């Protein structure tokens, strides 16, 4: 792994840690857009790989929203994590910076009910219109069914 | 009795947004799209003005299901993500778990996984090229390529016992070692591959019909491709040599000599050609790996994840308990989180797994290339003709199982 970019990251983000070859930055939801902008414009993290969330029902704030960035010049991955509460699971959307955020945020909204402020299109993508609840939350029972067409006897 | 059936999707636009356009719906079960994908298109004549791409028709709750099985039990599930190259899914998932458990796989396992990954890549690219050529009417090319793919499938069945979904990876190793004569048959298939892929080059590369349908169709620039999250052959077809096997070498790729083929325009033709050239590089790598393949065990000697020898299970209590605990409780993976990505045939296949220290995953998330590509598909479709949807969609090689999870 190349060290100059790691040093550079540490200078920019004093709280950054390294875990299994990935740089991890934890940030407040309000800072997320600033961090992403700095990663993209200053440090060359041009590829937004992934957006997802982790549900910790017993913890407050309840959700981790997890982003993975990759730099096609430095070949380094960065994970940005931010915590949001159950009563207001809102983070800023990264759609203004990365086109790929659009679909991944839709999926995360489907599965965890995270609201991405500024994403113009949070329609269901893997689920269907009218689906209630967010299936990857830990309190959504695996056996719960809501078929679109009723089962025949 | 009569329950109203609502439309599962709400289109992003309707006739009021495009008063002069005709709005057509394609899919999700259209005979010409090999994948359950719905495209709602606003057409000006035959020109596509706007599309709304919907996936999710194959969603089966993979990530939810993962949270209630042991780490080992997920291996058959991850096979069913990209079922054209199931072994790469296996190995990427196993490596993610091994990283959390801090396990170093044995040298033989490392080389075998690399070899089988490249073999799977050939099978996947053959499927993609064959299907997309057939959709343009090239039936001979389809049969040539699928014949080779079937040889590969049967050859892998001789190794793993299954044609498509192999369940061959294990945490810390592989299910079993190569059977006798496997490498000799591999060589025969690669010779046949070279002959038939040569015929495809002769049939297609300068074929006027093929060029007219693919040249400058569905073109994208490198900057746009990165913006929309494209990876794999689609990104490389734009001229950017980004390949995880070179950039962040994993398995045995650092020791191999290979090139990263790139295109020029990022159009359908370049995607076809990149895939063809990548298969040649894979063959080159497999030949090196056969030479390099060391002897030795294929599984690590670690009782946290490797099953004890069956004879010992029947003879001594420690092995019996070990076996029982591995089956009932699953391997105990230390708490933590990791993101491991492999260069799958379609692009970056990433596993983000979170463990709480128990035998079942707390969370498994797949960064599937197909899903991200569907998010940028409208960029490849808008501005081209209605009929171009089929070759463009074919060249993207969306795999429903991986896209919708």
pLDDT of B138 higher than 60: yes
Cα–Cα distance for residue pair B309/B296, rounded to 1 Å: 16
Reading the block at residue B369, the tokens are 């290339």
All residues of chain A having their beta carbon less than 8 Å from the beta carbon of residue B405 are 126
Does the distance separating the beta carbons of A103 and B56 come in below 8 Å? Answer: no
pLDDT in tens, B274-293: 999 999 999 999 999 999 99
pLDDT of B192 higher than 70: yes
Q: How far apart are the first and last CA of chain A?
A: 60
pLDDT of B191 higher than 90: yes
pLDDT of B146 higher than 90: yes
Cα–Cα distance for residue pair A62/A46, rounded to 1 Å: 29
Q: How confident is the model at residue A9 (pLDDT cuts 50, 70, 90)?
A: confident
Q: What is residue B226's predicted lDDT score, i.e. its pLDDT? A: 92
For domain B62-404, which CATH number applies: 1.10.3720.10, 1.10.645.10, 2.60.40.1170, 1.20.120.80? 1.10.645.10
Cα–Cα distance for residue pair A25/A11, rounded to 1 Å: 12
Please state the pTM of the whole predicted model. 0.90
Reading the block at residue B234, the tokens are 């689609």
Torsion sign, CA atoms A86, A92, A97, A101: positive
pLDDT in tens, B321-334: 999 988 888 898 99
DSSP B128-142: HHHHHHHHTT-HHHH
Cα–Cα distance for residue pair B186/B141, rounded to 1 Å: 22
Q: Which DSSP helix (H) or strand (E) runs through B109? A: helix B107-135
A122 and chain B: CB distance < 8 Å anywhere? Answer: no
**Other C-beta atoms within 10 Å of A73: how many?**
13
Does the distance separating the beta carbons of A148 and B350 come in below 8 Å? Answer: no
**Cα separation values, B103 from A139, B164, B330, B352, B354, Å:** 33, 28, 16, 17, 17
Mean pLDDT on B157-170: 89
Q: How confident is the model at residue B199 (pLDDT cuts 50, 70, 90)?
A: very high
All residues of chain B having their beta carbon less than 8 Å from the beta carbon of residue A46 are 226-227
Q: Which DSSP helix (H) or strand (E) runs through B310? A: helix B310-315
Per DSSP, what are the bridge partners of residue A53?
A: A65
A18 and chain B: CB distance < 8 Å anywhere? Answer: no
Cα–Cα distance for residue pair B120/B125, rounded to 1 Å: 9
Q: How confident is the model at residue A2 (pLDDT cuts 50, 70, 90)?
A: low
Mean pLDDT on A22-37: 87
State residue B299 phi and psi, 5-degree precision: -115, 145
pLDDT of A8 higher than 80: no
pLDDT of B236 higher than 70: yes
Q: What is residue A19's predicted lDDT score, i.e. its pLDDT? A: 80
Reading the block at residue B264, the tokens are 């020029």
pLDDT in tens, A48-104: 999 999 999 988 888 999 999 999 888 888 999 999 998 888 999 999 889 999 999
Domain ranges of chain B: 62-404
SS3 sequence, B38-61?
A: EEEEEEECCEEEEEEEECCCCCCC
Q: Are strands A115-117 and A90-92 parallel, antiparallel or unpaired?
A: parallel
Nearest chain B residue (CA) to A79: B339
Reading the block at residue B149, the tokens are 């793919």
pLDDT in tens, B298-322: 889 888 888 888 888 899 999 999 9
Does the distance separating the beta carbons of B10 and A135 come in below 8 Å? Answer: no
Contacts of B66 (CB under 8 A, 6+ apart): B74, B77, B361, B363, B364
Q: Are strands B347-355 and B363-367 parallel, antiparallel or unpaired?
A: antiparallel
H helix intervals, A1-153: 3-12, 32-41, 101-112
**Other C-beta atoms within 10 Å of B292: how many?**
14
Contacts of B184 (CB under 8 A, 6+ apart): none
Nearest chain A residue (CA) to B248: A75
Cα–Cα distance for residue pair B214/B208, rounded to 1 Å: 10
Q: Is the preceding peptide bond at B28 cis, omega within 30 degrees of 0?
A: yes
Domain ranges of chain A: 3-117
Pick from B5, B335, B372 the residue to mutate for testing the A interface (most A CBs within 10 Å).
Answer: B372
Q: Judged by CB atoms within 8 Å, which residues 64-103 of A form the interface with B? A: 66, 68, 70, 72, 75, 77, 79, 98-100, 102-103
Does the distance separating the beta carbons of B248 and A75 come in below 8 Å? Answer: yes
Cα–Cα distance for residue pair B18/B27, rounded to 1 Å: 21
Q: How confident is the model at residue B4 (pLDDT cuts 50, 70, 90)?
A: low
Q: What is residue A53's predicted lDDT score, i.e. its pLDDT? A: 92
Q: What is residue B282's predicted lDDT score, i.e. its pLDDT? A: 93
Reading the block at residue A63, the tokens are 């959700």
For domain A3-117, which CATH number applies: 3.40.440.10, 3.40.50.2300, 3.30.460.80, 3.30.43.10? 3.30.460.80
Mean pLDDT on B21-48: 85
């Amino acid at each position: 792994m190349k060290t100059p970019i790691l040093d550079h990251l540490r200078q920019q983000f004093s709280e950054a840690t390294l875990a299994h070859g990935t740089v991890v930055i934890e940030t407040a939801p309000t800072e997320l857009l600033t961090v992403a902008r700095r990663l993209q414009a200053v440090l060359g993290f041009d590829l937004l790989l992934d957006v997802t969330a982790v549900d910790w029902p017993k913890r407050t704030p309840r959700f981790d929203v997890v982003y993975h960035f990759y730099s096609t010049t430095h070949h380094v991955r960065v994970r940005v994590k931010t915590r949001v509460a159950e009563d207001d699971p809102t983070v800023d959307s990264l759609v203004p910076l990365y086109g790929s955020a659009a679909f991944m945020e839709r999926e995360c909204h489907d599965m965890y009910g995270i609201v991405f402020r500024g994403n113009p299109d949070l329609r269901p993508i893997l689920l269907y219109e009218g689906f209630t609840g967010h299936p990857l939350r830990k309190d959504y029972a695996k056996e719960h069914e809501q078929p679109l067409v009723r089962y025949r006897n | 009795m009569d329950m109203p059936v609502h439309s599962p999707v709400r289109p992003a636009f309707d006739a009021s947004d495009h008063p002069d356009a005709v709005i057509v719906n394609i899919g999700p079960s259209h005979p010409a799209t090999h994948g359950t994908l719905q495209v709602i298109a606003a057409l000006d004549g035959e020109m596509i003005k706007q599309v709304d791409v919907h996936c999710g028709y194959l969603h089966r709750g993979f990530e939810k299901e993962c949270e209630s099985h042991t780490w080992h039990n997920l291996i058959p599930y991850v096979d069913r993500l990209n079922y054209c190259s199931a072994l790469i899914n296996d190995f990427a998932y196993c490596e993610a778990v091994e990283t959390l458990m801090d396990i170093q796989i044995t040298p033989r396992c490392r080389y075998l996984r690399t070899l089988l990954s490249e073999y799977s890549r050939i099978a996947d690219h053959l499927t993609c090229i064959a299907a997309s050529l057939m959709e343009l009417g090239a039936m001979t090319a389809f049969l040539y390529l699928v014949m080779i793919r079937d040889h590969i499938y049967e050859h892998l069945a001789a190794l793993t016992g299954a044609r498509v979904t192999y369940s061959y990876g294990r945490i810390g190793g592989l299910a079993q070692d190569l059977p006798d004569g496997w490498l000799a048959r591999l060589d025969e298939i690669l010779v046949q591959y070279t002959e038939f892929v040569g015929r495809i080059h002769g049939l297609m590369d300068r074929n006027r019909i093929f060029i007219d349908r693919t040249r400058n169709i569905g073109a994208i620039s490198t900057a746009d491709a990165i913006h929309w999250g494209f990876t794999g052959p689609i990104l490389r077809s734009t001229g950017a040599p980004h390949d995880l096997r070179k950039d962040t070498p994993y398995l045995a790729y650092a020791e191999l000599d290979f090139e990263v083929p790139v295109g020029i325009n990022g159009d359908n033709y370049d995607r076809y050609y990149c895939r063809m050239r990548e298969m040649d590089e894979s063959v080159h790598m497999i030949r090196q790996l056969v030479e390099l393949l060391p002897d030795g065990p294929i599984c690590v000697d670690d009782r946290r994840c490797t099953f004890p020898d069956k004879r010992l299970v029947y003879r001594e209590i420690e092995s019996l308990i070990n076996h029982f605990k591995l089956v009932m409780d699953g391997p105990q993976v230390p708490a933590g989180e990791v993101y491991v990505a492999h260069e799958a045939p379609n692009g970056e296949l990433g596993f983000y797994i979170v463990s709480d220290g128990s035998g079942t995953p707390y969370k498994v998330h797949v960064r599937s290339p197909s899903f991200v590509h569907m998010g940028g598909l409208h960029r490849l479709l808008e501005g081209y003709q209605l009929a171009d949807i089929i070759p463009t969609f074919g060249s993207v090689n969306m795999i429903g199982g991986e896209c919708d999870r």
